[in-house]
Structures are given as C-alpha cells and as structure tokens.
Amino acid sequence: MAISNPSPVVTPPAARRQLIRRHSATVRITHWLNVVCLSFLLLSGLQIFNAHPRLYWGQYGADADQAFIAISTKQSGNALQGFFQIGPLSIQTTGFLGVSDEGGSATARAFPAWLTIPSYHDLGAGRHWHFFFAWLLVLNGLIYLTYGVWRGHFRRDLLPSGGQLTPRHLWQEVLDHARLRFARGEAARRYNALQKLSYLVVVFGLLPLMVLTGLTMSPGLDTAFHFLPDLFGGRPSARTLHFISAFLLVLFVVVHVVMVIASGLWNNLRSMLSGRYAITDEGTAR
Amino acid sequence: MTPPSSRRRFLAGLASGAGAFALAGCDRLVQNADVDSVLRNTEKLTMRGQRALLPRQRLAREYAEADLSPDFRANGTQMPDSDEYAHLLEREFVDWRLQVDGLVQRPQSLSLAELKRFPSRTQITRHDCVEGWSAIGKWRGVPLAQVLDAAGLKPGARYVVLHCADELEKTLDGSGRYYESIDLLDAYHPQTILAYGMNGKDLPVPHGAPLRLRVERQLGYKHAKYLMRIEVVDAFGALFGGRGGYWEDRGYEWYAGI
C-alpha cells in the first residue's frame, strides 16, 4: 500500500490516514476523455497548422500580408534553415521548427513529424482526426458543464471561497507552490485557490475560446452567425487566437502534470481513476 | 552502478523509441480504412449541423471595398497547361463556350458574351482556404440559378458537377483533371455565381479565367476555376475518383463548410 506525503512528523500518535471520495464518476470519465481529445486535437491541429504556418491579425491574411507569428524555411547554400518569427523577433529553430528530420532527411516543415498526426504531410487526414475529436470534445464538455451546474460541482469545488481570494492568502499560496509545499489533512479536502482559479480559467476561458475560435474558421458557421468573426476581429485573428489558446492549454497541462507529480503522483492518479483520495490527518488543529 | 550519462542516454533512447512506436502506431491508425470510415462520419454530422443552423438563403457576410485584400493569393493551377486552353486564351475566350448538359431539358452552349447578358451579381466576400489563409475579393458574375433555370432541370437532378480546363496532376488517363460538385441547395443559393469579373476587371488567368465558381459558404477548393462544362447529375459516384471533386478524391471532405 502506498502512503503519500510521508512527513517527518515527530508526534505520530494521532496521524490517521483516510480515503475520501474526491472525484465523481462523471468528472473522472470526462477528464480522461478530455485527455484523449486534447492530445489528438493538438497533434492533428499542428498538422493543419503546417499547411500554412503563418498567423495574421485582421479580416484577411495570406502570403502577401504581414504575419504576426510565422514559421518559415530558408535555403542557405545547400542547407535548409528554420525560423520562428513573432512580431519583429526572429529566432533560428533548425531541427525543430521550419526544418526537421522526416524519414531520415532534413525536410521543410513547420512542426516536426513527431508532433503531427499523421507524421507525414496529409492535411485531409489531419482534418478528419481534428473534427472527429472536436465533436467528441464538445459533447464531452457539454456533459461536464451540465453535470457541473446540476450537481453543484462548480459552486462546491471550483468557486473560491471569500477567504481564499484575499491578496495575503493568494500570496501565501504562491509561496507554498514555489516551495512545493502542499496542503495536508483537512486542508487537502478542497482545492487551493490557485488550483480553483486555473481550473476555472481552463473550463470557462480557454476551452470555450478554443471551440469558438475553431468554429469561427468555418465559412458555413460564419454565414449562420455573422457576429462570430467580429467577436475576434476576423477569421485570421480567430485562427491566431486558436493557436495561442492551444499553446496556453499545453502550458496548463505541463504545470498540471508537474503539480500532480509533485503533490503525490499515485494518490492523485488513484483519485482520478477510482475517485478515492488519501488524506493524512496529523492530529494538529488547523 | 550505471553512470548517469549512460543512464540518461538509455532513458533518452527509451523515450525516443516509445515516441517512434507511438508515431508509427498513429500513422497505421490513420491509414486504416475502418478507422477512416468512422472518422468520415463526422463530415455528415458537420454538414447536418450546419445545414440545420443555416437558413437556406442566408447570405455569407459581404464586405466593403476598403476591406479588399491588397494582393489576393492565387492558388492551385495558375495557368492551365494545354494547347486547347492556350488557343482560347490567345483569342481572349471568344471561342470559349460553357456547356450545360446532363439532366437538363435544354442543353446549353453559352459564350462569355451570352453569360454577361444575364442579370449579374456583384459581391465582396471572404475566400477561406482549407490551408488556413483568407483573402477578400470582389466578384461579378451570373447566379448559377439563372443558368440552371435557362437549361431547365430534369426530375432526379441532385448535383451540379463543374468540369474544369486544368489538370492539377498530370496523368495519362486524365484523372488529374480538376472538377467539383455541389448540391442543388448550394447551386440555387443567391451568392453562388459563375464569376467572370474580379476586383472590377475581367477574371485574371491565375484566378480561373474566363469563368470560375463562387460558392461562398464553403472553403476555397470548392470554388472551381477554368470552367468548361456544367453537368447536372443524380449522383457523382461514377465520376473520376467517385468522391465528387479533385481534392475530395485525394482525402478532403465533400462538404467544405468548415
């Protein structure tokens, strides 16, 4: 049996480990479906991005127009060089962005083969995978949102309490996170404020933004809802935001996974698989 | 004990091995015909969803002159590579005729001058390429509905197939010739026009002279260029690759609303 958070407590008599029910079945299932959807969406999305690795701001944007973010390939003598450009800044990224190995030879491609589905260039296949998992993500998201409102999951688990939002408390949490010090005992029963806020930003900010900017790239839906492109300043702008929010989601996942590992990988994994989370009551008043 | 450098190398090797395995697995999945047919169902879902949300005659957004792209990117074929087209171009398309046949009461053979005698429509719209870029252009042409009405549809007509002059892929059997198809719902949409003018001038060669399709609620590859013939059919399964268009035969969706 694994015991998480072994701590050098000198007075163990009252230390008591108990399993609490942390995640409902709906949360667990939708969480793992999300993992699958977002993985396929990211990798097939990069395949689609590779077809035109330039991002613009405005109502139109093509090769002759100024790109806001771009990945490009230049021929330098016999060699290919890859560049990542954002605004006026351009850095060489040969080997990763712009030029990378495909089938044993340096190939001009924005994102490398190991980051795209399929690994070789096939926009049509990339789109099939992207739209399949986009539908699944939306259906999964609707189930999760309905459940969250209906069963009070958002109010109970994700809405920060008044006390959690004071600057003093938030600063303390930032320090605790930086030192990788995590809540124990009773305090571990609920999410901390930084956790709640980042989950809220993902659930009600980034994911809806992904879906809406994705839909804005559809000429069919832009016809049905003329306000869609206006919402984001044009279809090219929506495509840029789609890319940026995907990047922010990746950033979230990285931090999320690091925190999961740092705060007890097995305990966290079990709670998202079976629902049960172990807390150790150290017998200290909190 | 293993020194850390070789352990790191071992772990890196393990990780890249796992990565390569996952990659190969993904590629095998992509190439699996059963998986592909499951994924392709989403196209129907998307089409039904969009058609349910889209009132039949609802117009795509039209823009102002000030919104025009300064440089409208030409894509696909820039100049059809055939003697036939070269001759037509040389004589400024006076010998060019648009054939309208298939399931029609009165097959037509229309010159450019005759097409221009139909009431015209001018629209400034956004062209969205499947690759991700967008350009705004001004198009002038004859609504496809008028040409179809002049020919008169026969019962059973369901799709309009657009045959083009350009071969995007050089093949011996002609299977690389560009073609497209739309259904009657899109064919009769007010913004679906056969455009002979662009940005106030005659349609330039890179953009499909003398005539191209504009079907504004779908992606760029549906907007067939260098039109030669319009064929009204009940099904397109017997044509070329059977999926209703040049790019459709090469993996793109037939319904290109997204």
Per-residue pLDDT tens over the stretch B148-207 = 999 999 999 999 999 999 999 888 787 899 999 999 999 999 999 999 999 999 999 999
- The type of residue at B248 is E
Q: Which residues of B touch A49 (CB under 8 A)?
A: 132
CB A281 within 8 A of CB A186: yes
Query: What is the layout of strands, in order, in the sheet containing B177-183?
Result: B108-110, B98-102, B227-233, B159-167, B177-183
CA distance A254 to chain B (A): 17
**Tell me: the pLDDT tens digits for A148-177?**
999 999 999 999 998 899 999 999 999 999
Q: Which residues of B touch A43 (CB under 8 A)?
A: 26
CA distance A60 to chain B (A): 5
CB-based contact A235 B131, cutoff 8 Å? no
> Which of A128, A211, A240 has the most B C-beta neighbours within 10 Å, making it the best mutation to test the interface with B?
A128
DSSP A223-285: HH-THHHHHHTSHHHHHHHHHHHHHHHHHHHHHHHHHHHHTTHHHHHHHHHTSEEEEEE-S--
Chain A residue with CA closest to B218: the answer is A219
Q: Which residues of B touch A109 (CB under 8 A)?
A: none
CB-based contact B42 A61, cutoff 8 Å? no
> Which of A223, A235, A237, A240 has the most B C-beta neighbours within 10 Å, making it the best mutation to test the interface with B?
A223
The average confidence (pLDDT) of chain B is 92
Q: What local confidence, expressed as pLDDT, does residue B1 receive?
A: 42
Task: Spell out the alpha helix ranges (H) of A151-187.
Answer: 153, 167-178
CB-based contact B130 A123, cutoff 8 Å? yes
Q: What local confidence, expressed as pLDDT, does residue B14 receive?
A: 64
Q: Which residues of A touch B53 (CB under 8 A)?
A: 221, 224-225
User: Which residues are CB-contacts of A113 (< 8 A; sequence separation ≥ 6)?
Assistant: A100, A101, A102, A107, A119, A120, B23
A79: β partners = A76
Higher pLDDT, A4 or B218: B218
**Tell me: the pLDDT tens digits for B94-134?**
999 999 999 999 999 999 999 999 999 999 999 999 999 99
Q: Which residues of A touch B126 (CB under 8 A)?
A: 59-60, 219, 222, 235
**Tell me: the pLDDT tens digits for B14-25?**
666 666 667 777
**Tell me: the pLDDT tens digits for A4-15?**
555 555 555 556
Q: Which residues of B touch A104 (CB under 8 A)?
A: none
* Total CB pairs under 8 A between chain A and B: 144
Q: What local confidence, expressed as pLDDT, does residue B2 receive?
A: 45
The average confidence (pLDDT) of chain A is 92
CB-based contact B129 A62, cutoff 8 Å? yes
> Which of A48, A223, A226 is nearest residue B217 as measured by Cβ atoms?
A223
Report how far apart the first and last C-alpha atoms of chain B are (Å, whole number).
57
CB-based contact A125 B252, cutoff 8 Å? no
The C-alpha atoms of residue A22 and residue A28 are separated, in whole angstroms, by 10
Q: What local confidence, expressed as pLDDT, does residue A282 receive?
A: 63
CB-based contact B257 A220, cutoff 8 Å? yes
Chain B residue with CA closest to A136: the answer is B42
CA distance A42 to chain B (A): 14
ipTM value: 0.90
Q: Is the pLDDT at A286 greater than 50, yes or no?
A: no
Q: What local confidence, expressed as pLDDT, does residue A16 receive?
A: 80
Query: What percent helix, strand, coil does chain A show, rounded to 5?
Result: 55, 15, 30
Q: What local confidence, expressed as pLDDT, does residue B6 receive?
A: 66
CB-based contact A59 B59, cutoff 8 Å? no
Q: Which residues of B touch A226 (CB under 8 A)?
A: 61
| Angle CA B129–B133–B135, to nearest 5 | 85
Q: Which residues of B touch A61 (CB under 8 A)?
A: 133-134
The pTM of the full predicted model, rounded to 2 decimals, is 0.91
> Which of A59, A119, A221 is nearest residue B67 as measured by Cβ atoms?
A59
Alpha-carbon distance values, A14 to A212, A277, A283 (Å): 52, 19, 5
Mean pLDDT of A91-96: 97
Chain B residue with CA closest to A56: the answer is B133
Q: Which residues of A touch B62 (CB under 8 A)?
A: none
The C-alpha atoms of residue B195 and residue B209 are separated, in whole angstroms, by 9
CB A69 within 8 A of CB A54: yes
Q: What local confidence, expressed as pLDDT, does residue B29 receive?
A: 87
